[in-house]
Structure 1
Amino acid sequence: MNRDEIRAELGQPGARDLLRDAPLLRLAYLGDDGTPRVIPIGFVWTGEQLVICTSTVAPKGRALRERQHAAVTIDTGATPADARSLLIRGTAAVETVDGIPPEYLDAAAKTIPPEALAGFEQAVRGMYEQMVRIAITPEWARYYDFGAGRLPPSLQTLADEATRRG
């Protein structure tokens, strides 16, 4: 998938909403033993990368340093009519940083009430001397809006065949 195709998918209005507003994404990666892992985690979209932050002892940081390929899903909706999903595959860049990356606090601000943010920040600054910052650059992306008919190709084929059969 080329950059223009990726930008077109990520630029869909519903995809932009998920990137901006969703509190969590589901991160898939290969663990140290080579088996898949999927974890929910807070994130920030910078306009170019998904950024997640974690502790220096978290297994995902070590695993993604060694095997940089990652997949992400960000989704919402409780019924087929309102189901929306953004799928991203990409390469993770992992770095250990001193202190708290600003993206960690920005991700937390999606779910913590404004009046509680200062206390949260003080608590995490007292807990972490360093954190791991993981930046995932999209290399493939698809946005689906099931209620609006923006379906995965396999489902669209089935729907088209059912319509033809009447």
Structure 2
Amino acid sequence: MTAAVRQGDPALLDTDLARRLLAADIPARLAFVAPDGTPRVLPINFLWTGEEVVMAGFRPSAKTRALRARPAVALTIDTAGPPPEVLLVRGRAEITEVDGVVPEYETMMRRGMPADQADAYLGELRRRGTPMERIIVRPEWVGVLDFQTRFPAAMPDFLTEAP
């Protein structure tokens, strides 16, 4: 199915590669434009809901001020390989202010640290009433690269041909 679906089609989210990367406990890289017009890329924890990539941050933040001003973003979720596996997502960031802990953030933290550490960390955030921001991106453009069946478009032919 992967080869039949063109790069850019959100149906690529249904590929094994995309599902695996969206479920992985690895950070995404969020690319956006800062207020000064320069590009930024930040590693950020995420959770895939089946419709949205959910991220979170503490408010107020320079990151969400920039996202509100210029909501067009790109995300990359990838492995080092070999061969590398890459999921590319483009969309628009939407931010909601949350009083307390963003529920998806709790899930992200619990999958990435031992239970006792997560309990202590999240308990302290709640005790302090730390305000957060929930950031979502609904994929509008999706690409996958597995360097076995899908390669970057500009890759030389001799590198993608079978011996």
TM over 0.5: yes
> Is the 1:55–1:128 Cα contact (8 Å) retained in structure 2?
no
In 1, Cα distance between equivalents of 2:152 and 2:128: 43
In 2, Cα distance between equivalents of 1:36 and 1:128: 32
Within the candidate set 43, 52, 55, 2:55 is matched to 52
1:85 paired residue number: 86
2:152 paired residue number: 152
* Cα separation, partners in 2 of 1:26 and 1:128, compared to 1, 3 Å: farther
> Residues 1-166 of structure 1: matches in 2 within 5 Å?
5-7=9-11, 9-77=12-80, 79=81, 81-146=82-147, 148-155=148-155, 157-160=157-160
Structure 1: state its 5+ residue gaps: none
Letter matched to residue 153 of structure 2: P
Structure 2: state its 5+ residue gaps: none
In 2, Cα distance between equivalents of 1:58 and 1:48: 25
Shift of 1:149: 3.1
In 2, Cα distance between equivalents of 1:84 and 1:156: 19
In 2, Cα distance between equivalents of 1:54 and 1:157: 42
Shift of 1:63: 0.7
Shift of 1:128: 4.2
Shift of 1:57: 2.1
Superposed structure 1 runs of 4+ greater than 4 Å apart: none
Deviations 1:76-135 (A, max 9, x none): 12x4x3311111110111111111110111111221123432212102223443211110
In 1, Cα distance between equivalents of 2:34 and 2:131: 22
Q: Normalising to structure 1: TM-score of the pair?
A: 0.85
Percent of aligned pairs with the same amino acid: 35
Structure having the larger proportion of residues in helix: 1
> Is the 1:49–1:138 Cα contact (8 Å) retained in structure 2?
yes
Deviations 1:49-78 (A, max 9, x none): 11111011221111111111001101112x
Aligned residues: 158
Q: Normalising to structure 2: TM-score of the pair?
A: 0.86
* Cα separation, partners in 2 of 1:110 and 1:158, compared to 1, 3 Å: farther
